[in-house]
Amino acid sequence: MELSYQSTRGKEANVTASQAILKGLAADGGLFMPSFIPKLDKTMKELSTLTYQETAYEVMKLFLTDYTEEELKSCINCAYDSKFDTEEIAPLAKADGAYYLELYHGSTIAFKDMALSILPHLMTVAAKKNQVKNKIVILTATSGDTGKAAMAGFADVEGTEIIVFYPKNGVSRVQELQMVTQKGKNTHVAAIHGNFDDAQTGVKKIFGDKEFAAQLEEKGYQLSSANSINIGRLVPQVVYYVYAYGKLLAGGEISDGERINVAVPTGNFGNILAAYLARQMGVPIKKLICASNENKVLYDFFQSGTYDRNRDFILTSSPSMDILISSNLERLIYLSTGCNAEENAGLMKELNETGSYTVTPAMKKFMEDFIGGYAGEAENQRTIKDLFDRTGYVIDTHTGVAASVYRQYKEQSKDETKTVIASTASPYKFSGSVLEALEGKKSEEDEFRIIDRLSDVSGIDIPQAVEEIRTAPVLHQTECDGDRMKETVMGFLA
């Protein structure tokens, strides 16, 4: 059986992997899904001896079936190289009985690098394969980390322009500085007056605007996305769950076939969906612990079966998870209907019109291995501090949410299954909040003073990505209202 891609809303089918990557979002507003989830064709034991790059090939070849071996290996080797500060690419650190999968060793020190280091390579190969003559405009909404990682990946990549929208008051100081100091003739950034959902909804609207697409086409442009709605983001994220299991096996931490749990700090539901895909491919994963901050839409959903975004948007110290519309949940919903695009499209229409929908008992049953949980600010701070006091290991505020929810789950369920916690950002990306957790009070000092003190307290070297922005000039100053995004895009391309 040949694998192809189809929209979760049914109006596009038989799309190749490279076409799906080029398009980003399907024309009907749906997300591309593979026609089936492939099974790993090597045993976990065999996979456990492989490097990150080799593992990436074994996983990605099963999804990206119209890429040749040579093309795929070249993309992988260009992506996972010395841009990462460790040869392991995604090391596992054991602390306080859990395994932290450190996904922040790439150039922008958040887990978005795991996929965005390779997406530009996948995209340029896809453009060649499909004889694309237009310039590809990567349009992206960011809650803080995707924007920088996408710009770093696409900067000065021939045949592309990259445009990022971020919420003006919704990102950390380091995140903002990283974006506004980004070099590259083809990089564009705008701060929007609104929150992440406004940015994401605006971007999705632009994707659905046929008239606008025609205007762009006339000028020789076509749109694509670097958000996790792009299947080219999701597939590379499956790799590190396979790799992590292999490392646990190779290190003798688990026996062959032993099931593990994963705990993932969740926003747009991309990272945890990748863990689910890894499980369906054959990685022995038992529970998927979906951790939210105070924007606990997903927790409520897994409790009640009702997804309801009608609530206040809360700004937290884990801004990359401040999201009320988790786009990738649509892919799980679609799977839970038995890939019934019509049923899924109906629910998404309801979400769009009323802000909520309720799944059937059968669909809820399908998702029973997802455990929703959430942690507030005080609990998150306590977790970060406790872990540091006990082990000397420092985690960021997003990983803190996952560690908190994991602790709650373990206490309530008495489930002693070994657990991998996705560690999604370097503590330096959120220095103010992390130092506040460690010292018990908020510092009013300058951001870089805080960074230096965090280094003193934690003993962790300040990453290159942070040193770079200390003195870098600000190159981007555009701001816009949420309803002026189209005009802003045109302005950038003029």
Ligand X SMILES: *Cc1c(COP(=O)(O)O)cnc(C)c1O
Q: How far is the CB of 250 from ligand X (least distance, A)?
A: 27
Q: How far is the CB of 135 from ligand X (least distance, A)?
A: 27
* 292 scored as a contact of ligand X (CB under 6 A): no
Comparison of 129 and 279: residue with beta carbon closer to ligand X: 279
* 268 scored as a contact of ligand X (CB under 6 A): yes
- Stretch of 6-14, 89-97, 269-277, 339-347 contacting ligand X, by CB under 6 A: 269-277
Instruction: In whole angstroms, give the CA distance from residue 368 to residue 371.
Output: 7
58 and 40 Cβ atoms separated by less than 8 Å: yes
Comparison of 228 and 419: residue with beta carbon closer to ligand X: 228
Among positions 108, 182, 200, 228, the unique one binding ligand X when judged by CB under 6 A = 228
291 and 383 Cβ atoms separated by less than 8 Å: no
Q: How far is the CB of 447 from ligand X (least distance, A)?
A: 18
Q: How far is the CB of 372 from ligand X (least distance, A)?
A: 13
Calculate the alpha carbon distances from 176 to 166, 181, 190, 341, 476 in Å.
Answer: 9, 9, 11, 38, 10
19 and 5 Cβ atoms separated by less than 8 Å: yes
- Stretch of 159-167, 263-271, 455-463, 475-483 contacting ligand X, by CB under 6 A: 263-271
Instruction: In whole angstroms, give the CA distance from residue 107 to residue 82.
Output: 9
Among positions 160, 225, 266, 419, the unique one binding ligand X when judged by CB under 6 A = 266
- Structure tokens given for 115: 């996929």
Site string for ligand X, 63-102 (x = CB under 6 A): ----------------------------------------
Comparison of 124 and 423: residue with beta carbon closer to ligand X: 423
Amino acid symbol at 147: G
Handedness of CA 150, 156, 159, 163 (dihedral sign): positive
Calculate the alpha carbon distances from 182 to 155, 186, 454, 483 in Å.
Answer: 8, 10, 24, 25
Comparison of 47 and 332: residue with beta carbon closer to ligand X: 332
Site string for ligand X, 103-122 (x = CB under 6 A): -------xxx----------
Query: Buried (b) or exposed (e) across 355-365, using 16+ Cβ within 10 A?
Result: ebbebeeebbe
Please compute Rg for the chain using Cα positions: 21
Judged by CB under 6 A, the chain residues 381 through 400 that form the site for ligand X are 398
Mention every residue, 6+ apart, whose C-beta is less than 8 A from residue 186: 154, 155, 156, 157, 160, 161, 162
* 269 scored as a contact of ligand X (CB under 6 A): yes
* 181 scored as a contact of ligand X (CB under 6 A): no
* 406 scored as a contact of ligand X (CB under 6 A): no
- Structure tokens given for 2: 């040949």
Q: How far is the CB of 335 from ligand X (least distance, A)?
A: 17
Judged by CB under 6 A, the chain residues 294 through 353 that form the site for ligand X are 320-321
- Count of residues that bind ligand X according to CB under 6 A: 17
Q: How far is the CB of 400 from ligand X (least distance, A)?
A: 10
Among positions 120, 267, 372, 373, the unique one binding ligand X when judged by CB under 6 A = 267
Judged by CB under 6 A, the chain residues 131 through 170 that form the site for ligand X are 145
Q: How far is the CB of 310 from ligand X (least distance, A)?
A: 21
Give me the phi and psi of 99, to 5 degrees please: -110, 115
Which residues in this chain contact ligand X in the complex, by CB under 6 A?
110-112, 145, 228, 265-271, 320-321, 398, 424-425
